[in-house]
Structure 1
Amino acid sequence: MTDWSTEALHADYAQSLRVDKLIYDSETAHQRLRVFENPTFGRVLTLDDVVQTTEADNAIYHEMLTHVPILAHGAAARVCIIGGGDGGMAREVLKHATVSHVTMVEIDGGVVAFSRQYLPSLSAGAFDDPRLDLVIADGADFMRDTKGGFDVIIVDSTDPVGPGEVLFTDTFYGHAKRALAPNGILVTQNGVPFLQPQELTNTMRAFTALFADATCYLASIPTYAGGPMAFGWGTDGDARATPPDVLQGRFDAAGLAPYYYTPQVHKAAFALPGYVARLLPGSSSL
């Protein structure tokens, strides 16, 4: 019998991945962790049976949540990652030599430990980089208490259920705004708008009240089925208007060789299809 892993994140839609080999299955104090091998996606990480990341396509998600704000900012030296226990986000942030310090706040130390052992390709040595400060703590508590001064804050959260729910509140976003340096950028994971419209709408309502420039951008990630994934964008600066030639220059200077990201994809990601634009405040007439 072939084993399948089926997630039930949505009430009327589910996706399944074939489990060729179960690598790890254990419950921590916060959630159930599983790692298994799939012929197309490689090793797959699930939390409470919801797919979080895969070896095959994780680069799309991680590149778009890191390179877009960092290259748009142009001088990001201090970056904060909320979540990201698998290390993939830190891996991409630390590819930028201009970044001098990364604070990564992960609620579950068990995720970090087993990711280092069972999914080492995701972090690719990031946990050993001296620029990384790993903090095992609740991200909402950290954001409330931090002195801040971050040029970029990346919220690499699970969906707004369980431990990740608090990271989608107006209070959390307000604390994150306060923790940004002048013209800093906050980016967030906001699910698949076709299946999770309220998740994006709620975040954009909060962002619109907090930031001079509040919108979202998109990327198509096979793991997260149901259409393109949305990433929230909030800043009081004008980084979104960075000209294409400037982005290209920063990209070339950084020496990146991404799987998915290009400066052209960066600019195009902010072009929203009608059904997504209508989820943003003030866009009901589109």
Structure 2
Amino acid sequence: MELEEFRLSLYQPGGLMGTIYAVDEVLYNSKSRYQHIMIVKLRGFGKTLVLDGLIQSTESDEHIYHEALVHPAMTVHPNPRRVLILGGGEGATLREVLRHSTVEKAVMIDIDEEVIEVSKKYLPEWHRGAFDDPRTELHIMDGFEYVKRASERGERFDVVIMDLTDPYGSDIAAQLYSRSAFELISRVLSSDGIVVTQAGCSTLFPDVFKRVYNAARQVFQHVREYAVWVPSFAYANSFIAMSNKYRIDSVSREEVDRRLAERGVKTRFYNGLRHIAMIGMAEMHIEIKA
């Protein structure tokens, strides 16, 4: 079949929505021990990482997703020095964490080494050398097994970022967003630490989102949703920030911009205005779900 005729059809779990993308070129297509990995060039979106038939990030808008995932929690924390990343195989989440001059160590845990190696080869625009940064510590293993061991060693992190598959993707994925999972993560969090997770789409999957949100509320004192529209996903991606000390809506637009400038963080999408807007978008979603 000619590539001009080839189409990539992606369907959300449960058959709620389908989107068809034109594929101009297939750069990589293989199945790892854990998942089906594709690197393709999508018309209008550029290079794209696809895992198990679902778009993870595209060249044209990955910065929107990754900046939205990383910077609200990193910016609200006054001095994030040690950061733990669960997932994020492309290296873009790591890239954004390392933009903050306060960071002394960033530990990234991903179970699928093939995703990382493929990303290093085909997606250099994503990681931009972050894997080679001296502050980076990379482990190929189950993220929650690492958290258990880190807890036993007494390790603590100022920010924990969960860049995992969607909570409605599979039974295994659902376990990663449970109360027990959040309790485990809380054991390696500093007393003033912040956890943030991507949480799929609260408007398309409100019941699943509410389960994740309520699980977080059983563990953390301050829990807040925020959201951002990601064009290649064709929906607004939801995030949940949780902490026992800080609220992501506790800083002003001006304070966000001041902290970014002070730390030398240069972004393409995120700033003080969009920080406030993403929280406002989530509030609108809550009203629709009510």
TM range (shorter): over 0.9
TM-score (norm 1): 0.93
More displaced 10-residue stretch of structure 1: 133-142 or 85-94? 133-142
Is 1:237 the counterpart of 2:241? The answer is: no
Instruction: Please name the residue that 1:4 is paired with.
Output: 7
Q: Please give the residue correspondences for 1:13-52 in structure 2 after superposition, counting only pairs within 5 Å.
A: 13-52=17-56
Is 1:158 the counterpart of 2:165? The answer is: yes
Instruction: Please name the residue that 2:257 is paired with.
Output: 248
Contact in 2 for aligned 1:30/1:108 (Cα 8 Å): yes
Give the Cα–Cα distance (whole angstroms) in 2 for the partners of residues 104 and 233 of structure 1.
19
TM-score (norm 2): 0.91
Instruction: Please name the residue that 1:193 is paired with.
Output: 202
Give the Cα–Cα distance (whole angstroms) in 2 for the partners of residues 5 and 245 of structure 1.
42
Among 60, 66, 78, which residue is 1:62 paired with? 66
Query: What is the aligned-residue identity percentage?
Result: 30
Instruction: Please name the residue that 1:204 is paired with.
Output: 213
SS at 1:75 equivalent: coil
Contact in 2 for aligned 1:190/1:199 (Cα 8 Å): no
Per-residue deviation at 1:157? Answer: 0.4
Instruction: Please name the residue that 2:267 is paired with.
Output: 258
Among 95, 100, 103, which residue is 1:99 paired with? 103
Is 1:77 the counterpart of 2:85? The answer is: no
One-letter amino acid matched to 1:230: S
- Cα shift readout 1:135-191 (whole Å, capped 9, x = no counterpart): 111112222332341100000001133453431122111111121101100000111
Per-residue deviation at 1:17? Answer: 1.3
SS at 1:146 equivalent: helix
SS at 1:168 equivalent: coil
Instruction: Please name the residue that 1:175 is paired with.
Output: 184
More displaced 10-residue stretch of structure 1: 239-248 or 115-124? 239-248
Give the Cα–Cα distance (whole angstroms) in 1 for the partners of residues 254 and 245 of structure 2.
19
Give the Cα–Cα distance (whole angstroms) in 2 for the partners of residues 267 and 275 of structure 1.
15
Q: Which runs of 5+ in 2 are unaligned?
A: none
Give the Cα–Cα distance (whole angstroms) in 1 for the partners of residues 269 and 84 of structure 2.
22
- Cα shift readout 1:223-261 (whole Å, capped 9, x = no counterpart): 2213x1110110011342123332221111122321110
Contact in 2 for aligned 1:82/1:106 (Cα 8 Å): yes
- What RMSD in Å do the two structures reach over aligned CA positions? 1.6
One-letter amino acid matched to 2:225: C
Instruction: Please name the residue that 2:140 is paired with.
Output: 136
Give the Cα–Cα distance (whole angstroms) in 2 for the partners of residues 276 and 143 of structure 1.
32
Pair 110,165 (structure 1): closer, same or farther in 2 beyond 3 Å: farther
One-letter amino acid matched to 2:70: T
Contact in 2 for aligned 1:151/1:181 (Cα 8 Å): yes
SS at 1:207 equivalent: helix
